[in-house]
Chain A
Amino acid sequence: MQPFLKVDQVTKRFHKVVANDRVSFDVMPGEIHCLLGENGAGKSTIAECIYGFYKPDEGTITVQGNPAGLTSPRDAIARGIGMVHQHFVLVSSMTVLENIVIGTDAARPILDLKAAAARIREIGRRYDVDIDLEARIWQLPVGQQQWVEILKALFQGARLLIMDEPTAVLTPQEARRLFQIFREMTADGLSVILISHKFDDVMQSDRVTVLRRAKVIGTVNTRETTKEALTNMMVGRSVELRVKRDEHPRGAPVLEVRDLRAANDFGTEKLSGIDLTVHRGEIVGIAGVAGNGQGELFEALIGARKTRGGSIRLDGADITGRSPAEIQRMGMGYIPDDRFADGLVGDYDIQSNLILGHHRREPFARRGLLQFRAIRDFARKAIEELEIKAPSETTRTRSLSGGNAQKVIVAREFAQATKVILANQPSRGLDVGVIEYMHERLLEKRRNDFGILLASEELDELLGLADRIVVIFKGRILGEFAAGTADIERIGLLMAGQETAGKAEEIS
């Protein structure tokens, strides 16, 4: 059988950075082909080359035997290649139908919405995607917004769908649904290129191509390999998939949250009375599907969101209603879930981002003026210590891969915080190597008697790290489990809002 897509010796450079170095692989019709690799290995770059967004410096991309010569996403779509980016490009005030049709040939020369709708319904039925075409995008859960992107690609005639980290923002249920849709598609002879850091996803593919430092290490059949073997190929060494958490006595309460209430930006109540205590030398895990109030909770804790009631104490002092600057000065650090939106100034370089928050202080500023030598020295040390992969400390953070961007935030917050560290989904989109590193650093902070509050959708992560796990659902804490006694089934039920499940198991 002829491969649908053949990538042959493709090289792509950004100035001095080689993002893809003679990358070759092929995708068969009806195949789910996974691209696996560390942060910054070049996965997104090769995907954008295939999609015609970047032009390869060398090498060829062949679609169904014909050299593609892709110079734009339009060309790619014309040849049956569609892509769903991690950040969807939908207009949230428009309907599903409008979003699918705009910018496609269906809108030319005359827009025939009825005919388009009929065709989209037909595609939906075929691949078992059931969605209301008249719903507005903002009304849909993330999982369904992604379906809209997929439908749009299929509507434009995609035979190959590129998905860049599609499950990073999905609940486990949504992810399962997504793979069902993939299977319907591949049964029909369509292909999928899947980029993901989650082994749950990777193991559901047909073949895996592993990239390391811009090069292809090899392509393997998924059925003939294991998680450990893949990790080895990817990182070049074996990685502890489970961290070692030694016993450590917990101290006095350092973060006490009582009956905390807050709303989101639209005034909808998102926190309905949160009670929570974190002690020194303790990691408290918040289990829960994203969007159940984690973001609002963290923002309220750092003082960036107005509370509607309740109190927050940091090391005994009432910090309710204080400003982010004050709260940080009192020792709180925050690692947000959306790195580029909340954690970094993307157009600032690494060194400028590393001092953000301490930029008025000695040694970084003196008499109002920034001290660039001190800033540079600090940045160089952080880059070396955390092995941030970047040409220099003056590299803009926007061009960093997800993992390296996260390291910049971790370096900054760990240097600034003195008592409490908050981390919201800190391992989202990171490769196993970086996750391992971050877990080690969190445990080190625990040994240094920090109180740590960690929210994650990955139960394995919480079970491995946390001393206690609480479950958050629709702005309430539903249950609390000690690390040893935590029952995955029960936590899972609570995460889905089945309140009765955990009550009996509660500890104090």
Chain B
Amino acid sequence: MGLRLEPRLAPSARWQAVSVAVALLAALAVSALLLESAGTDVGVAFAAILDGAFGGLRTTAKTLAKATPMILTGLAITVAFRAKVWNIGAEGQLFAGAMASYWLYTLTGPALGMALLPLLFAAGFVGGGLYGGLAGWLRSAFRVNEVLTTVMLNYVILYLLSFLLVGPWRDQSSFYQQSERIDRAAWLPDLWAPGKLHLGFLVAILAAVAIHVVMNRSWFGYEVKAVGLNARAARFKGINVERTAVAVMVLSGGLAGLAGMIQVFGVNHRLESDISLGFGFTGIIIAVLAMLRPGWVVFVAILFGGFENGGIKMQVATGAPSAIVSAIEAITLLFFLTAAALTRFRIVWRST
């Protein structure tokens, strides 16, 4: 007797929908068991999660704000993975973008007001892009495995950050490792103030639309996907595989860098290591769950954002330990990843 995985010839849309629904129900069932065993009222807990995530305009806006950096890092990973360039360094590129934009701010100060914003966005993109591009260049020029370089560059940038935060960029008045608070004039304006939904969300949505167009409608996206699917044939037909890999890493790093800039100027309002809660890594999970489709990345990232906020609300409402929230999150994730795998494979059960 045994289980075996067989590749599906062509995953149907209906099967995909069914498997997602099943994953959701299964995750709910297991989470319910867990809550039940912790002595929590399951109904109340689920209602709190839903309420905390999407109950009302204000909470929804908060959820969208939470989702913003994850949309961008999800897109960053999507672009890279499409070319089979394994960028594990979106976290580092996010910080590079944050630092580049903060550096620009230290040079100009808040005097420019709103006119500074486009420059800050550009700096975030360029900072992340250069940092990603570095790994891409090492891969293309010296065949250095990008998984290794991007992971190591994550550490490099964090150490550089903490050096700057105890040194030149340190807020002298504070005990923590953090920069001075950014002047209100340079904050990202709110789209909807009560929900703290800032301009960054709009930028993330625009980025998703742009990436969708680039990947599916432009010759550049066509080349990126061709390189990912069959680099040999792509090379034979004149596509510069090395240059494409560098370009992909620049674009990927740039998107992650935007996330960093947005966190600094839209959420934390200062440069500190808390600007990312591992968004660079969550981006990998989001991109994979979204099957590397930009539209789905937005959707999945918003669900993730909702879960964060809903979890907090549930904790408050039921007094369940925070470990349970993390456990539920992980369980849901596992079921969804399984569902994603099952749309491409099927389990065959047989007795021998």
Contacts and interface: CB of A to CB of B under 8 A. Distances in A.
Do A and B associate with each other?
yes
Question: Size band of the B side of the interface?
Answer: 20 to 34
Contacts of A14: 9
Contacts of A341: 230, 232-233
Given A14-B9, A360-B219, A369-B218, A302 B236 contact: yes
Given A304-B235, A344-B233, A356-B226, A368 B219 contact: yes
A373 interface: no
Contacts of B238: 323-325, 328-329, 357
Interface string B207-249: 0000001000111101101100110111111111000000000
Contact of A72 (B9, B220, B236, B350): B350
A359 B233 contact: no
Nearest to B12: A15
Contacts, number: 74
A173 B82 CA distance: 44
Interface in A317-372: 323-325, 328-329, 334, 336, 341-348, 352, 356-357, 359-360, 364-365, 368-370
B230 A325 contact: no
A357 B219 contact: no
Contacts of B235: 304, 324
A345 B220 CA distance: 16
B219 A359 contact: yes
Contacts of B233: 341-345, 356
B350 A345 contact: no
Contacts of B219: 359-360, 364-365, 368-370
B234 A345 contact: yes
Given A324-B237, A359-B223, A365-B219, A348 B232 contact: no
A99 to B, nearest CB: 21
Given A72-B350, A368-B218, A15 B10 contact: yes
Contacts of B239: 325
A74 interface: yes
B226 A348 contact: yes
A328 B237 CA distance: 8
A342 B240 contact: no
Contacts of B174: none
Contact of B236 (A324, A346, A364): A324
Interface in A257-293: none
Interface in B100-148: none
A71 B236 contact: no
B37 interface: no
B173 interface: no
B348 interface: yes
Contact of A370 (B218, B230, B234): B218
A375 to B, nearest CB: 10
A357 B217 CA distance: 16
B216 to A, nearest CB: 9
B10 A352 contact: no
Nearest to B226: A345
A325 B237 CA distance: 7
A56 B350 CA distance: 18
B248 to A, nearest CB: 16
A342 B229 contact: no
B217 A370 contact: yes
A370 B10 contact: no
A359 B219 CA distance: 6
Contacts of A71: 348, 350
Given A14-B9, A74-B352, A334-B236, A345 B230 contact: yes
Given A342-B236, A348-B225, A368-B218, 11 more contacts: A71-B350, A334-B236, A341-B230, A343-B233, A345-B229, A345-B234, A347-B230, A352-B222, A357-B237, A364-B219, A370-B222
16 contacts: A71-B348, A72-B350, A323-B238, A324-B236, A324-B237, A325-B238, A325-B240, A342-B232, A342-B236, A345-B226, A347-B230, A356-B226, A356-B233, A357-B237, A357-B238, A369-B218
Interface of A: 14-15, 71-72, 74, 299, 302, 304, 323-325, 328-329, 334, 336, 341-348, 352, 356-357, 359-360, 364-365, 368-370
Q: Which 5 A-B pairs have the closest CB atoms?
A: A325-B238, A357-B237, A345-B230, A324-B238, A356-B237
